[in-house]
């Protein structure tokens, strides 16, 4: 950083200096004394800048949020608040927020709006939804949302309306890893990163893609407690930089690496024999299955030296049970993703790290009360994504987003003509943006609830502005895991604009759709019913004061290591071999299929994260955007040379579904057969700073999914790059 | 307990820095630092050739020197050092001459066009005076920075500096920088 560049010796600068008299300039030094009497409040609440829901303390002076501080009481966020958490203030005070309901005045995507009253917006939407229901049945409406504390109300409205078509984010994120661990252990465990001695991560870039407490614990365990980190990634990430060993694995071959590890561990009898005998089924089949996958074979597939694979396998089993093959979070990589995650789960199982300190730990849970609401009938029609037929093992309630889009476009098995979206941006979250736009264009109606003008909102007919997380009360939520916590979100200021909570928006619609009986409660009543089960004398007062309730006695280890414990699987044991997979026509043990490789002159597009951005959601935050105002495409110098591209040159990247233009970064930090770009740029919405800044990966990514879980396969696209 | 004069310093374990920018944004919020300027920053070093690569990150801000050049050159006394070592700017006295910007060996100061004064890290003196930590120290996810009184014999700072090897940046400038980077 060249700080001297700011040094301009101009008369204007010197003259400007004379105007320093206002006491306001002393605000930082004096602010406590000044406002102590007036109003300086410290209000604990819960962050919403990403999925971690960290505990924060808002410093509010005279009704203005001055600062968001970490809440040291939280065992999950471990007394930290990341860049995004700190920048949350800007979400509130961003001048380009959606400040009142809007109704489209021009063509879709033209960006012409007229401000509307809430009654108008509700009436218009209710009328359109009713028209769709009349013509196509309730299944002709689609309700999609991303997780937030009020998502439940939005989903319930869709279900009360009678639609089977509720679709959520997991199949764009972690559906394959969740399903793989569920089918193996009957649950999705947490990983005790803090106490592990040996950690292997396949592309889980935990130091740039924060998960609490894992990210902080990874630093602690590797830097302070001398745990060893082995990291596999085609890209040199921050996690790679901090790892003890980094292997730029050939993309899509992680399963070969895992099979070879099992080959060594089982072949050399290094597995946890007693644990395997007591708690698992199918070990003999597994042993037979991995016999042929020697490290020398895996070296050919992965480009990781055989001797290293064998050594890592030995070190891993020696360190067990304090050894973990970390599951990772976003597992939407390849068509074979599910089987890769299964192999990982099995590898963890055979070294006996289940429910042990420094190993995998089933999530601690806390029970909340529930407000009794009027029950609605189950939908009559089947889901439009035909989950039962296409993904019989997957979590049905979440849907399979890409298959859903393809079926809607084909009007199979029936037409879907109205779409309600709650705080999600499918325009950028789904691959092949052109097809998402086509899906939107075939809709008779699109309604969006959001805080900022996303690209999806940009194409909507009605936009309902939501109050930000610092302006509203939410239901409480249990964050299960190693340290189960109940978190509470209370408003720290009144809404700045004419915005409402999702519950209020839903209630306004429900009233007009004659569904009020399902939403006949206030937020206070809802929260009261939730918290009354907590072992506290005055639970709500406690949550208002602390922002959270920490369950005592965690972390707990070994609760499931008893002869009586039954795992929630078909056999009641940990399933190395899965009969359920076999019965549903899938491989009962992970079978490796080498991934297709890019033809000469093409490169695999891989995606990843920066610690200061959450998906495509916070690239527009001015304090965060400043760190990377545009994205660029990473090219290895060898690749760049072959294309005649220099650092900073404008290039065109093209796949079979689209082409984009952005600048090139020529860097050693990526494999020569891959290119990389950051997510969340090249927006269409002119209300964002990102319109025309870099490019959207969604325009390039081709549609592909994992066949077992339906999870999007986001690393299966090959692109050509040329200088323009 | 013996009364001693406090001397605040910062000990930084750069190995733990993951370049997440939490400190930069926390400082911006805490001290209303305008976009385009920053009181703290993260130096980055990247080298090597595929696949033998290295990336290192090193947070930096005002070093609150023992003998601060910025204070020495200030013609109005606006730049001053507190007895506890914190170097700060009294904005009412600052005439915006910017001698201090040139004098600082660490480029830790910048000129604020909107106010016509020079600004810098003051270890969040307003927080420290209330017994709190500087915003950058508190918010850090990997707890890279340890802030404290080097004169406190039982403090974490002393413990770290006694146990670990460390270096300071540009000791040759002769200002006695008080950010200690652990090796």
Full 3-state SS string of B141-166: CCCCEEEEECCCCCCHHHHHHHHCCE
**All residues at 6 or more sequence positions from A85 whose CB lies less than 8 Å from its CB, including other chains:** A47, A49, A54, A56, A68, A70, B22, B139
Closest chain B residue by Cα to residue A245: B52
Q: Are A241 and B51 an interchain contact pair (Cβ–Cβ within 8 Å)?
A: no
Question: Rounded CA gap, A696 and A426, in Å?
Answer: 12
CATH number of domain containing B37: 3.30.70.20
Q: Are B92 and A82 an interchain contact pair (Cβ–Cβ within 8 Å)?
A: no
Say if residue A23's pLDDT is above 70.
no
How high is the pLDDT of residue A28? Answer: 42
How high is the pLDDT of residue A179? Answer: 98
Question: Does residue B3 sit within a domain?
Answer: no
- Give residue-wise pLDDT tens across range A582-621: 999 999 999 999 999 999 999 999 999 999 999 888 999 9
Same domain, A81 and A219: no
Distance from CA of B9 to the nearest CA of A (A): 19
- Give residue-wise pLDDT tens across range B61-82: 999 999 999 999 999 999 999 9
Same domain, A348 and A214: yes
Distance from CA of B151 to the nearest CA of A (A): 24
Question: Rounded CA gap, A442 and A431, in Å?
Answer: 18
Question: Does residue B2 sit within a domain?
Answer: no
Contacts of residue B26 in chain A, CB cutoff 8 Å? 67, 81, 83, 86
Of B49, B116, B140, the CB nearest to A16: B116
- Nearest Cα to A119, choosing from A498, A450, A474? A498
- Interval A146-158 mean pLDDT: 95
Same domain, A405 and A357: no
Question: Rounded CA gap, A216 and A80, in Å?
Answer: 9
Can you give A461-504 as a three-state secondary structure string?
CEEEEECCCCCCCCCCEEECECCCEEECCCCCCCCCCCCECHHH
Boundary-marking domain end, from A66, A93, A120: A93
How high is the pLDDT of residue A97? Answer: 95
Question: Does residue B158 sit within a domain?
Answer: yes
How high is the pLDDT of residue A616? Answer: 86
Domain of A201 in residue numbering reads as 190-361+559-583
Say if residue B96's pLDDT is above 80.
yes
Same domain, A473 and A335: no
CATH number of domain containing A641: 2.40.40.20
Q: Are A219 and B111 an interchain contact pair (Cβ–Cβ within 8 Å)?
A: no
The dihedral built from the CA positions of residue A469, A471, A476 and A482, taken in this order, carries a sign that is positive
- Label residue A36 by pLDDT band (50, 70, 90): low
* Percentage of chain A lying above the pLDDT 70 cut: 95
Q: Are A17 and B94 an interchain contact pair (Cβ–Cβ within 8 Å)?
A: yes
Say if residue A34's pLDDT is above 60.
no
A526, A506 Cβ separation under 8 angstroms: no
- Label residue A148 by pLDDT band (50, 70, 90): very high
Closest chain A residue by Cα to residue B34: A623
Q: Are A20 and B98 an interchain contact pair (Cβ–Cβ within 8 Å)?
A: no
- Interval A301-320 mean pLDDT: 98
**DSSP assigned state of B134:** P
Closest chain B residue by Cα to residue A85: B22
Same domain, A196 and A112: no
Same domain, A374 and A339: no
How high is the pLDDT of residue A373? Answer: 85
Q: CB-based contact (8 Å) between A207 and chain B? A: yes
What does the longest C-alpha to C-alpha distance in chain B come to? 57
Distance from CA of A249 to the nearest CA of B (A): 11
Say if residue A7's pLDDT is above 80.
no
Q: Are A236 and B91 an interchain contact pair (Cβ–Cβ within 8 Å)?
A: no
Distance from CA of B1 to the nearest CA of A (A): 29
Same domain, A718 and A676: yes
CATH number of domain containing A355: 3.40.228.10
Contacts of residue B116 in chain A, CB cutoff 8 Å? 13, 15-20
The dihedral built from the CA positions of residue A314, A317, A319 and A325, taken in this order, carries a sign that is positive
A10, A26 Cβ separation under 8 angstroms: no
Question: Does residue A180 sit within a domain?
Answer: no
How high is the pLDDT of residue A365? Answer: 86
Q: CB-based contact (8 Å) between A215 and chain B? A: yes
- Give residue-wise pLDDT tens across range A425-440: 999 999 999 999 999 9
Question: Does residue A200 sit within a domain?
Answer: yes
Q: Are B37 and A223 an interchain contact pair (Cβ–Cβ within 8 Å)?
A: no
Structure-token pair, residue A337: 């993703």
* A539 SS3 class: helix
Q: At what angle do helices A306-319 and A295-302 cross, to 10 degrees?
A: 110
| H or E element, residue A607 | strand A603-608
Number of domains observed in the structure of chain B: 1
Bridge partners, A452 (sequence order): A97
Same domain, A86 and A129: no
Question: Rounded CA gap, A8 and A260, in Å?
Answer: 62
Contacts of residue A304 in chain B, CB cutoff 8 Å? none
- Label residue A11 by pLDDT band (50, 70, 90): very low
B148, B130 Cβ separation under 8 angstroms: no
Question: Rounded CA gap, A95 and A263, in Å?
Answer: 58
How high is the pLDDT of residue A22? Answer: 34
Of A19, A29, A238, the CB nearest to B19: A238
A431, A701 Cβ separation under 8 angstroms: yes
A138, A494 Cβ separation under 8 angstroms: no
Question: Does residue A21 sit within a domain?
Answer: no
Q: Are A25 and B115 an interchain contact pair (Cβ–Cβ within 8 Å)?
A: yes
DSSP B83-98: TTS-EEE-TTT-----
The dihedral built from the CA positions of residue A68, A69, A70 and A71, taken in this order, carries a sign that is negative
> Which A residues 60-99 touch B at CB under 8 Å?
66-70, 78-83, 85-87, 89
- Interval A308-318 mean pLDDT: 98
A17-26, A325-334, A360-369, range with the lowest pLDDT: A17-26
A209-223, A369-383, B80-94, range with the lowest pLDDT: A369-383
Boundary-marking domain end, from A93, A118, A138: A93
pTM of this structure: 0.94
Closest chain B residue by Cα to residue A34: B126
Same domain, A571 and A718: no
Say if residue A654's pLDDT is above 90.
yes
CA distance to A156, A363, A385, A515, A705, per residue, from A166 (Å): 9, 26, 10, 17, 19
Same domain, A492 and A455: yes
| A39-A45-A51 Cα angle (round to 5) | 145
Q: Are A32 and B130 an interchain contact pair (Cβ–Cβ within 8 Å)?
A: yes
Same domain, A567 and A680: no
Q: CB-based contact (8 Å) between A39 and chain B? A: no
Q: Are A668 and B48 an interchain contact pair (Cβ–Cβ within 8 Å)?
A: yes
Q: Are B36 and A626 an interchain contact pair (Cβ–Cβ within 8 Å)?
A: yes
Of A3, A208, A623, the CB nearest to B107: A3
The pair phi, psi for residue A448, each rounded to 5°, is -130, 135
Number of domains observed in the structure of chain A: 4
Question: Does residue A19 sit within a domain?
Answer: no
Q: CB-based contact (8 Å) between A611 and chain B? A: yes
How high is the pLDDT of residue A691? Answer: 84
User: What's the mean pLDDT when you consider all of chain A?
Assistant: 94
CA gyration radius for chain A?
26
A309, A232 Cβ separation under 8 angstroms: no
Same domain, A198 and A344: yes
Question: Rounded CA gap, A444 and A419, in Å?
Answer: 8
Higher pLDDT, B75 or B4: B75
- As a whole number of Å, the end-to-end CA separation of chain B is 32
Question: Does residue A514 sit within a domain?
Answer: yes
* A446 SS3 class: strand
Contacts of residue B97 in chain A, CB cutoff 8 Å? 14, 17
Question: Does residue A399 sit within a domain?
Answer: yes
How high is the pLDDT of residue B2? Answer: 57
Closest chain A residue by Cα to residue B55: A241
Contacts of residue B98 in chain A, CB cutoff 8 Å? 7, 9, 13
- Pick left, alpha or beta for residue B36 (phi over 0 → left; psi -120 to 50 → alpha; otherwise beta): left
Interface A:B, Cβ pairs < 8 A: 182
Structure-token pair, residue A224: 């302070």
Structure-token pair, residue A519: 């939403």
Domain of B127 in residue numbering reads as 8-182
């Amino acid at each position: 950083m060249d700080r001297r560049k700011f040094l301009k010796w101009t008369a204007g600068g010197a003259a400007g200096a004379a105007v320093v008299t206002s006491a306001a300039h002393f605000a930082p030094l004096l602010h406590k004394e000044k406002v102590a009497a007036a109003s300086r409040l410290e209000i604990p609440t819960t962050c919403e800048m990403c999925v971690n829901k960290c505990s924060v303390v808002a410093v509010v002076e005279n009704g203005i949020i001055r600062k968001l501080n970490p809440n040291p009481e939280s065992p999950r966020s471990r007394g930290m608040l990341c860049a995004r958490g700190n920048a949350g203030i800007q979400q509130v005070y961003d001048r380009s927020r959606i400040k009142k309901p809007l109704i489209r005045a021009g063509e879709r995507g033209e960006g012409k709006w007229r401000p509307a009253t809430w009654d108008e917006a509700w009436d218009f939407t209710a009328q359109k939804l009713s028209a769709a229901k009349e013509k196509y049945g309730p299944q002709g409406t689609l309700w999609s949302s991303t997780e937030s504390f009020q998502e439940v109300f939005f989903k319930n409205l869709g279900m009360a309306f009678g639609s089977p078509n509720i679709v959520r984010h997991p199949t764009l994120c972690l559906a394959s890893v969740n399903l793989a661990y569920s089918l193996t252990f009957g649950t999705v465990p947490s990983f005790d990163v803090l106490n592990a001695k040996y950690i292997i991560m396949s592309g889980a870039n935990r130091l740039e893609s924060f998960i609490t407490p894992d990210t902080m614990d990874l630093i602690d365990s590797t830097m302070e407690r001398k745990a060893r980190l082995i990291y596999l990634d085609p890209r040199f990430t921050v996690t790679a930089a901090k790892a003890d060993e980094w292997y730029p694995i050939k993309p899509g071959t992680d399963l070969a690496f895992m099979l070879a590890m099992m080959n060594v561990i089982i072949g050399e009898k290094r597995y946890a024999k007693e644990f395997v005998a007591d708690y698992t089924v199918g070990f003999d089949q597994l042993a037979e299955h991995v016999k042929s996958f020697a490290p020398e074979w895996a070296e050919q597939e992965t480009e990781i030296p055989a001797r290293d694979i064998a050594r890592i396998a030995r070190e891993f089993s020696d360190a067990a049970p304090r050894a973990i093959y970390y599951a990772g979070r976003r597992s939407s990589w390849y068509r074979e993703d599910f089987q890769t995650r299964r192999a990982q789960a099995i590898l963890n199982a055979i070294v006996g790290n289940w429910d042990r300190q420094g190993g995998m730990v089933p999530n601690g849970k806390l029970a909340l009360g529930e407000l009794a609401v009027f029950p609605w009938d189950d939908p009559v029609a089947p889901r439009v994504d035909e989950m039962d037929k296409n993904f019989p093992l997957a979590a049905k309630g979440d849907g399979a987003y890409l298959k859903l889009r393809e079926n809607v476009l084909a009007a199979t098995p029936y037409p879907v003509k109205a779409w309600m979206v709650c705080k999600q941006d499918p325009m950028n979250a789904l691959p092949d943006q052109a097809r998402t736009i086509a899906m939107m264009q075939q809709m008779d109606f699109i309604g969006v609830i959001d805080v900022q003008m996303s690209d999806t909102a940009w194409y909507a007919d009605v936009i309902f502005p939501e109050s930000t997380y610092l302006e509203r009360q939410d239901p409480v939520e249990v964050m299960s895991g190693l340290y189960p916590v109940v978190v509470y979100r209370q408003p720290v200021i009144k809404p700045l604009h004419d915005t409402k909570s999702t519950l209020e928006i839903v209630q306004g619609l429900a009233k007009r759709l004659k569904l009020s009986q399902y939403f006949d409660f206030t937020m206070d009543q809802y929260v009261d019913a939730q918290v009354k089960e907590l072992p506290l004398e005055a639970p709500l007062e406690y949550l208002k004061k602390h922002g959270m309730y920490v369950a005592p006695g965690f972390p707990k280890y070994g609760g499931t290591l008893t002869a009586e414990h039954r795992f929630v699987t078909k056999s009641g044991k940990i399933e190395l071999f899965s009969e359920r997979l076999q019965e549903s026509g899938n491989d009962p043990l992970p079978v490796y299929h080498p991934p297709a490789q890019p033809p000469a002159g093409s490169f695999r597009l891989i995606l990843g994260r920066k610690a200061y951005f959450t998906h495509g959601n916070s690239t527009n935050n001015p304090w965060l955007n400043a760190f990377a105002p545009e994205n660029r495409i990473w090219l290895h110098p060898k690749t760049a040379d072959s294309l005649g591209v220099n650092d900073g040159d404008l290039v065109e990247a093209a796949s079979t579904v689209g082409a984009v233009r952005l600048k090139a970064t020529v860097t050693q930090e990526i494999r020569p057969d891959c290119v990389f770009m950051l997510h969340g740029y090249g927006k269409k919405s002119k209300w964002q700073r990102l319109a025309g800044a870099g490019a959207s990966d969604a325009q390039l990514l081709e549609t592909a999914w994992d066949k077992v879980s339906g999870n999007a396969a986001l690393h299966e696209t090959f692109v050509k790059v040329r200088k323009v | 307990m013996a009364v001693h004069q406090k001397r605040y310093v910062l000990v930084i374990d750069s190995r733990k820095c993951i370049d997440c920018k939490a400190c930069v944004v926390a400082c911006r919020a805490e001290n209303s630092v305008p976009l385009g300027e920053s009181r703290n920053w993260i130096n980055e070093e990247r080298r090597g050739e595929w696949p033998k690569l290295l990336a290192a990150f090193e947070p930096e801000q005002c070093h609150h020197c023992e003998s601060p050049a910025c204070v020495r050159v200030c013609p109005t006394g606006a730049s001053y050092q507190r007895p506890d070592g914190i170097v700060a700017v009294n904005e009412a006295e600052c005439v915006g001459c910017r001698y201090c910007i040139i004098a600082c060996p660490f480029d830790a100061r910048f000129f604020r066009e909107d106010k016509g004064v020079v600004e810098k890290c003051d270890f969040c003196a307003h927080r420290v005076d209330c017994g709190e930590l500087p915003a950058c120290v508190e918010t850090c996810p990997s707890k890279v920075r340890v802030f404290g009184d080097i004169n406190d014999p039982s403090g974490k700072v002393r413990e770290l500096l006694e146990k670990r090897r460390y270096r300071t940046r540009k000791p040759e400038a002769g200002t006695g920088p008080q950010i200690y980077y652990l090796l």
